[in-house]
Each structure stands twice: as structure tokens, then as C-alpha cells.
Amino acid sequence: MPRLGAVFGGRGEERVRPMTSARRGGAIIVIAALASCGRPEKAALLLTVTPDPIPVAVFAAGHGVFIQSAEWQITVRETAGLGGQLLAVDTTIRDSSTADPVATVVSQGADITGETGTTRVGQHGALTVSQRWSDGGVFFPTCMTFLFDVHVSFIDDNANQLEASLRVPQAQRTCS
């Protein structure tokens, strides 16, 4: 453990005199107070989705049925210096022409932990969650394009509940 002391002396002679307990206590209090000055009161989140835009694959399943599917990753980055827990990542997939919901993909506590090993996002840290969707088959002809509305729920280390959202379009495709 480092020793607290004051340097004094003159003419090339320096000696270290231990601080009294009152001074030592004052120094520790000042150090603790200075260390807590920069701690933010609330976390800040930055969401990124890759790929952006999200490509949707179309597979022929036979008898005029086509399966559409997509995969994407959501990275939740804490930018203020206060970590916390990622509670949920929800993506609502919408028909881009009507904005009607088509499906919702939900990743919560156990899902996130199973994939990433944790729900913890450290201060200035990041956590990436993967999601995938398949429509299970639609009858031809279909050429629906989608919007992906990503929503994140987070609670920081000061018990502030944060919500963040991001809309990502589908990659362009040619429909015939």
C-alpha cells in the first residue's frame, strides 16, 4: 500500500514525514470526492444494426410458396460512462407500404445471456445481439418490402430505465 506523506527539506536534503491520521483521512476524502465528480447520473445508448439496410432472402418452397427470411445484429453501446443491464431487444418487422406489423422478434434476459454470456454492458462498453426472422412461407406473388423497427430496453447502474429505438430499411430487391 502506498504511503501518504509530505516531502520537505532543503539544500539537497529531502525527507518524507508520514502524515498524521487527520491529514491522511483528509487526503483520502479528497481523492474519493475527486473520483466521483465525473460519474454520470444516467447512461447513454448508441444503437447500430448490421447489415444496414437488412437484406431479405426469398426461397422457393414449392407449390407457389416462398419463404422470406433475414438475419441482423444489434450492437448496444454505452457512451456516457455508466454501465447497466440490457433487458430486451425487440424488432418489429413492418410492411413498408402500410407500416402494418408483420412479425416481432424478441430477445430477453435468458436469450441474450445464452447468446452473449451476459446482459451486462460496461461503462463505454458494447454488447451485440443477433436476431433472425422467417415468415414461414407466403403464396406467390409476393414482393413485400419491410422496415425493421429495433427497440432496446436497458437499466443503468443508477436504476434509470432507458429506451432506445432505430428504424432500419430492407435492402432493395427486384420483384417480378
53-102 pLDDT, tens per residue? 899 888 777 777 778 889 999 999 999 999 999 999 999 999 888 999 98
Distance CA 78, CA 82 (A): 7
89 and 130 in a single domain? The answer is yes
- 134: domain CATH number? 2.60.40
| 3-class DSSP assignment, residue 22 | helix
Q: How far is CA 14 from CA 7, 9, 20, 170, in A?
A: 6, 5, 18, 71
Structural domain including 29 reads 5-37
- Residues 27, 77, single domain; the answer is no
State how many domains the chain has. 2
The verdict on 70 and 143 lying in the same domain is: yes
Kindly state whether residues 99 and 59 are assigned to the same domain: yes
In this prediction, residue 23 has a pLDDT band, given cuts at 50, 70 and 90, of: very low
Q: Residue holding cell 430486451?
A: 88
> Average pLDDT of the chain?
78
In a domain? residue 67: yes
Identify whether residues 33 and 53 lie together within a single domain. Answer: no
pLDDT value for 172: 73
Using one digit for the tens of pLDDT, what is the confidence trace for 47-58? 999 999 899 888
Same domain flag for 108 and 23: no
Q: How confident is the model at residue 113 (pLDDT cuts 50, 70, 90)?
A: very high
pTM of the full structure: 0.73
Rounded-to-integer distance, Cα 172 and Cα 53, Å: 8
